Structure 1
Amino acid sequence: MYGCNYDHLNNLEFIKTAMLAAIKETNLTLLDLVGHQTEPQGLTVFALLGQSHMSIHTFPEQSYAAIDIFTYGDYTRPEKALSVLKKILRPEKTRMTNITRGLQKDMKPRIRVSIAPLRRMRNTSARVWRFFRNK
C-alpha cells in the first residue's frame, strides 16, 4: 500500500488494531499476534493464524506498507482482509499480487533430470585416467 499516513504506519498499536479488525472480519482464527517497533521508524506485526499467517511491514519514511496474507482452505477470504486494511490505512495506491500455491502441478518438477550425462562423464574420466596410467 502506497501513500499511507506516516503516523499510522509508525504506530504499533494502530497497526495491531487494524490487523485484528481484518482477522475478525474474515473469521480467521488468531493464535498469536506479535509486533516489533524498529528504530528510527517502522514496524512489523505478525499474526499466526489457524489458517496460516498474516504480516505487515511498514516503512513510514516512504509512506509504504507491505502486507502479506497467506491462507489455505476454501472458506478463507484474504481479499476481504485486504479490503478491511485498505479502509483503515487509506492508501493512495495499492498493488496486489495473488499467488496460488500448493497445487499438485506446482509441486512436480517441470524438467526431468537425466543422470546419463553424469555416467558418461564418469566413464570417460575413468578411461582418460587409465590411458595416462598405462603410458
Structure 2
Amino acid sequence: MSQTALQLTPANDILAGNTEADHFIQRGGKVYAGTHLIIDLLGAKNLTDKALMEATFKRIVRECGATLLHIHVHTFLPSGGLSGVAVLAESHISVHTWPERDYAAFDVFMCGDAKPELAVDILREAFSAEEANVQTFYRGEGVA
C-alpha cells in the first residue's frame, strides 16, 4: 500500500516534514499526546483470517481519522493465530490472537485529532466478539 492511499488527517504535516506541529490535544480539561486503548476481545471469531484483519485495520484507520503508513500481519502455524501491526503517522494499531481460546488482544494508540475510541465497536463487529474489555490511557499527560 502506498503512503498516500489513506492519508486523511492533519498528520500529513508529519509526512511532509513539518516538525513544528506536535499534535498534542486538549479534551475534557486534559492536555495529552494521544489516547491508547488496550482492547481484549473475548468470544471472538475469525481470528485466523488475515484478509479480514487487514481490512479491519484499514477500516479503523479510515473511520478514526488516522493516516496509514504500513500494515504487516503474520500467521503462526499450526494454530493460525495472527500477530500484526498497522503503523500510523499518529502511532499504531497492533494485535495478537489466540484462535484456540477465541481471544484477541489489540492496542490502538492514536495521537492528535484521531478518534481511537471508534475502533472498539469496529473490532467487536468484525470479529463477532461476545465481549470487549477496554482500558484507556492518556499518553503524554502532564508533559510540559
Partner of 2:122: 84
- Matched position secondary structure for 1:80: helix
TM-score, L = length of structure 2: 0.67
**1:28 and 2:66 correspond:** yes
Q: Distance in 2 between matches of 1:54 and 1:28?
A: 11
Alpha-carbon contact 1:22-1:82 (below 8 Å) kept = no
Partner of 1:57: 96
Q: Distance in 1 between matches of 2:142 and 2:88?
A: 24
Q: CA deviation at 1:28?
A: 0.7
Partner of 2:105: 66
Partner of 1:19: 57
Deviations 1:93-119 (A, max 9, x none): 1110001121226x9xxxxxxxxxxxx
Q: CA deviation at 1:89?
A: 1.2
Kindly report structure 1 stretches of 4+ aligned residues shifted beyond 4 Å.
none
Alpha-carbon contact 1:59-1:65 (below 8 Å) kept = yes
Q: CA deviation at 1:18?
A: 1.2
Higher helix share: 1
Higher strand share: 2
- Matched position secondary structure for 1:71: strand
Determine which structure has greater relative contact order: mean sequence separation of CA pairs < 8 Å that are 6+ residues apart, divided by chain length. Answer: 2
How many positions carry a matched residue from both structures? Answer: 103
RMSD after superposition: 1.4
- Matched position secondary structure for 1:94: strand
- Which structure has the bigger radius of gyration? 1
Q: Which runs of 5+ in 1 are unaligned?
A: 108-135
Aligned with 2:83 (options 28, 39, 44):
44
Q: Distance in 2 between matches of 1:97 and 1:26?
A: 18
Q: Supply the AA of the counterpart residue of 1:3.
A: G
